[in-house]
Amino acid sequence: MNRKQAYKAARAEGWPAAQAWRMALVRERWSAAEARGLVRLDVEPDETFDPDDYDPECRQQAAAMAEREGAWGIVAKARCGCCGEWHTVDSVWGFVGKSWSWSGYDADVMASALSWLEEHHGSE
pLDDT digits (tens, 9 = 90+) for 32-91: 999 999 999 999 999 999 999 989 998 999 999 999 999 999 999 999 988 889 999 999
Distance, CA of 122 to CA of 98 (rounded, Å):
33
Question: What ranges do the domains of the chain cover?
Answer: 38-121
The pTM (predicted TM-score) of the whole model is: 0.90
Cα dihedral sign, 52-19-14-73: negative
Element (H, E) at 14: none
